[in-house]
Structures are given as structure tokens and as C-alpha cells.
Amino acid sequence: MESSKLPFQYWFIAMHLLTSTKKSFSAKEIQRQIGHKRYESIWAMVHKIRSVMGLRDAEYTLCDEVELDDGFFETVSITRDKTKPLKCGRGSEKQSKVLISVESKPAPDSFNEKKHNTNKRVKYIKMRIINSLKKEETTKTVQQMVDKGSKIVSDASTSYNDLNQDYIHEGQVISKEEINTILPWVHKAISNAKRLLLDIHHRIDDDFLQNYLNEFCPKFNRRYFDNLFDRAMIAAVSYRWNYLGEVNR
């Protein structure tokens, strides 16, 4: 909020709207709620809030048993060479690669298996954009999200071959019938995030996808908290923007 020309009241309203619901608000809707004339100012403010929410959440790591998988989110790139044809499948320019890790643990016997269709209970999640699925980048990203020595369950992708050095890694070929048993929550997290982004924002630039995930994950991780607005305020005053537009502690 430092050096911002917008009133503090605008920031408080935006943080209240972003934390008052499980879903989200678009910058256009927040502009309408506030009654401000310029969309660009509100858009920048909302993305600053999402950015610091992600920085605050990045201070915590996952531990114990973690589900790991990668997902592909449809995005738009304004820098793409439109004269070249688009690729299909996992290498498509229309998709951004995201590494998803979910901390889960076996549920007690009293857990309602019929309702959740799984024998695990979810705790926390993290989502991080990656440039490629090469094992070097995947391993480095996992190290930033998960404590060393934790147990990681994943599919048999070669992207996770180096995880055995720092983690108890269980990679296995998973059929469709076994997904809800072995990797139940990571796939639910991916589908819920995709549905939310499509429902609220419709079209997302690949440069800003991480900011939207930075809002989704902290709100999910604090889903049982009553003071999400206070948490957002703590994140807002813990970081500041320098003259280059970068965020510092």
C-alpha cells in the first residue's frame, strides 16, 4: 500500500471482497463495487494483494505425506508468435504447466468415505508454475514446497526420478480406478482451481496465472479460519514494492 495513490479504504474493501468468499472477485467487479473510474488502477491493486498472499503462503512448507502431480491450465500469451501453428497436447502454447503438491493423511475410521469417496483427509496445498517438466526443474520446485524427508506419492512420470535423493518417493503407474485411492486430493485441487478460474476470470494471461493461484491456495489452506481479512492485512503490511515493481520483505 506504500506510495499508492488509491485511498486505504479501496485496499480494505478489495481485501474484504477477496477473503469474504470461497471463490473470488474479478478486478472488474471490485471496480464496480468500489465505484472507481479507472480499471487499470484497481487491476494493479488486486494483483498486488494476490502477490503478497502468495509470498506469505510461501513461508510455509508441506510435510509428512504429500501427493504430487502436474496440471495444465489454459492461458493466453500476448507474446506468442501468432504466425506459427499451435502445438497439441502437453507442449501446447495454450497451456501453462503447474506443479501441484497436496499434504494429506489417512483419515480415521469415522471419516465419511461415501461422501468424499476417498480414505484420505486433505490439509494444505501448493501450486507453482514451472517452465518445463524436466526433472531438474521439478526437483528444485518440490524442494521449495515440501520438507526434505517427507513421503511423496506420485505417478510414474520421469519428471520425479530425482526425488529419491531427498524424499521417500513412491512413484507408480496409476489407473483411472485407483486415482481416488492413491492421488485423490491433488486431482480435486486441480479441477477445483480450473473451474474457479474459468468461472470468475474466463481468460487469463500466462504472465499472471501464478497470482490467481496465489489467491486460491492461501484461501484453501485457511478455509477453517474466521479472520481471513486480518491474515490478508498481515500479508499486505509484511511486504513492500520497490521502484522496480518487485516485492521485498
pLDDT tens-digit series, residues 129-169: 999 889 899 999 999 999 999 999 999 888 998 999 999 99
Total-model pTM: 0.85
**The CATH number fitting domain 65-205, selected from 3.40.50, 3.40.630, 3.30.420, 2.40.160:** 3.30.420
Contacts of 48 (CB under 8 A, 6+ apart): 241
**Whether residue 242 has pLDDT greater than 50:** no
Confidence (pLDDT) at 244 = 35
**Whether residue 3 has pLDDT greater than 60:** yes
Strand 151-155 versus strand 120-129 pairing type: unpaired
Look up cell 531427498; give the residue: 166
Q: In sequence order, which ranges of the chain are alpha helices (DSSP H)?
A: 8-19, 27-34, 39-57, 113-116, 135-145, 179-182, 184-200, 209-221, 228-238
184-203 tens-digit pLDDT: 899 999 999 999 998 888 88
pLDDT classification of 50: cutoffs 50, 70, 90: very high
Cα radius of gyration rounded to whole Å, the chain: 19
d(CA 209, CA 178): 30
Segments making up each domain of the chain, as ranges: 8-58+223-248, 65-205
Compute the mean pLDDT over every residue in the chain, rounded to the nearest whole number.
85
Three-state secondary-structure class, residue 119: coil
pLDDT mean over 22-31: 91
